[in-house]
């Protein structure tokens, strides 16, 4: 009998899938966080907010962007699994 559990002994990292997801996350992250920054700035001007209120709005949109990216990574891992079973 083997001293290692069967599940960990037969797993390999699927590097093409990992690289694909990381590359897509970088591209989409740049768009999401850029949109959060620019959108906060534009909305602050549109509604006549003070600079401090504008920064708070940008921070709120940034946090929403973090949730978007977390959900993207989770969904991408389902489509492109990081681990292959040998």
Domain edges within the chain: 12-85
pLDDT > 90? residue 1: no
State the pLDDT at residue 5: 57
pLDDT > 60? residue 7: no
Average pLDDT over residues 41-63: 96
CA 58/CA 22 separation, integer angstroms: 25
Q: What is the pTM of this model?
A: 0.76
User: Which residue bears the tokens 């899938």?
Assistant: 17
pLDDT > 70? residue 31: yes
Place 84 in a pLDDT band, splitting at 50, 70 and 90. confident
């Amino acid at each position: 009998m083997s001293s290692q559990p069967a599940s960990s002994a037969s797993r390999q990292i699927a590097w093409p899938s990992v690289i694909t997801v990381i590359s897509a996350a970088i591209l989409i992250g740049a768009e999401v966080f850029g949109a959060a920054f620019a959108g906060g700035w534009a909305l602050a001007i549109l509604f006549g907010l003070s600079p401090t209120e504008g920064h708070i709005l940008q921070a709120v949109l940034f946090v929403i962007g973090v949730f978007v990216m977390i959900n993207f990574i989770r969904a991408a891992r389902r489509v492109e699994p990081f681990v292959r079973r040998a």
